[in-house]
Amino acid sequence: MIEVYNKAWNLNITNSDKKNITFNISSGDVNVDDFNVSYPWEYEKSWMLLEVKEYANKLFYHFVVDTKHIVIISNDSFELKEEILSFFWDVDILIITWTKDAAKIFENIEAKLVIPFGEGKDIFLNTLGQHIEEVESHKIKAELSIDTTEFVNLSV
């Protein structure tokens, strides 16, 4: 089971072994437990696999946590080319910032569960016709649907 929640402007992802990924929404830094992984590289930490890729001077994160592929996109000011789209393969959970160009990025990534963040997350959800209530946390227990995309509106 994976739990996702916000705490003091940090988006937290906790796996079944209580290992934690923390994404600081303000700074863009990502930590696995207390280890900063905000540098391009391939990591294995706390039984999680992670690849951090730099593209167009931006960092992109692809985790494998409890067999789920989690991608964090913290900036949408980049051109969608095959080089970066191939990094977004097999996405189960997409964590994405919202600005004008995020919808285009979202449409090119077939994620099963989408968690928008940032000041415009409600605009993102409304643009996609998702009028869902805010929740404190979301637990991902079972297999995710391959036919539909689920959206989560986490409170800040």
- Predicted confidence band of residue 100 (pLDDT cuts 50, 70, 90): low
Percent of the chain residues past pLDDT 90, beyond the cut: 56
Q: Report, as an integer, the average pLDDT of 96-115.
A: 85
% helix, strand, coil for the chain, step of 5 = 15, 40, 45
114 in any annotated domain: yes
| CATH number of 113's domain | 3.60.15.10
DSSP string computed for 67-121: TEEEEEE----S---HHHHGGG-S-SEEEEE-STTHHHHHHTS--SEEEEESTTH
Count the alpha carbons within 13 Å of 10 in the hemisphere toward its beta carbon: 13
Domain, as residue range, for 97: 2-151
Number of domains in the chain: 1
123 token code pair? 């605009």
97 in any annotated domain: yes
33 in any annotated domain: yes
Q: Tell me, what's the pLDDT at 105?
A: 86
Phi, psi angles (nearest 5°) of residue 112: -90, -30
120 in any annotated domain: yes
Burial of 131 (0-12, 13-18, 19+ CB in 10 A): exposed
How much is the pTM? 0.92
Count the alpha carbons within 13 Å of 116 in the hemisphere toward its beta carbon: 27
In angstroms, the CA 99 to CA 109 distance is 16
156 in any annotated domain: no
60 in any annotated domain: yes
126 token code pair? 């409304």
Q: Report, as an integer, the average pLDDT of 95-101.
A: 80
